[in-house]
């Protein structure tokens, strides 16, 4: 995994305190997935990831069985739905992005990624 960004309190929140700081990590699969997308879409995804760092528990929705440890953030670009799947690690205050891609077969790919076929 590679660290993508860390949401610094002083820079992102204007020096406000009391707001949690989350570090974002992309898995190799997520990084490969986002590289295949158009540049304007990658910019929109990057902006969504920056927003996720501020409040990942409320900006995404927790998935149902068997993916209850995963959150999904929804994004629309040119009328097409895209998803960002991520897990939270509250102990280290990190967001691990598992998969980024179009909605078609997204949850099937995510399930295969986490549990094998």
Write down the domain spans for the chain.
2-115
Check residue 15 and give its pLDDT. 40
Check residue 20 and give its pLDDT. 66
* CATH architecture of structural domain 2-115: 2-Layer Sandwich (3.30)
Q: How far is Cα 116 from Cα 57, in angstroms, rounded to an integer? A: 26
- CB proximity list for 101: less than 8 A, separation 6 or greater: 33, 82, 83, 109
Residues of the chain with pLDDT under 50: 3, 6-17
Which of 64, 74, 68 shows the shortest CA–CA distance to 103?
Answer: 74
DSSP string for 33-80: HHHTS-HHHHHHHHHHHHHHHH-HHHHSEE--TT-TT-EEEEEEETTE
- Taking the model in full, what pTM does it have? 0.81
Check residue 65 and give its pLDDT. 87
């Amino acid at each position: 995994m590679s660290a993508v960004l860390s949401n610094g309190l002083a820079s992102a929140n204007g020096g406000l305190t009391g707001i949690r700081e989350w570090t974002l990590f992309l898995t190799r699969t997520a990084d490969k997935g986002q590289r295949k997308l158009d540049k304007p879409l990658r910019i929109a995804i990057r902006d969504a990831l920056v927003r996720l760092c501020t409040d990942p528990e409320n900006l995404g929705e927790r998935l149902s069985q068997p993916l209850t440890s995963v959150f999904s953030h929804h994004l629309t670009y040119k009328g097409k739905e895209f998803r960002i799947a991520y897990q939270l690690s509250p102990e280290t205050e990190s967001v691990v992005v598992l998969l980024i891609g179009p909605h078609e077969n997204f949850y099937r790919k995510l399930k295969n990624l986490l549990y094998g076929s």
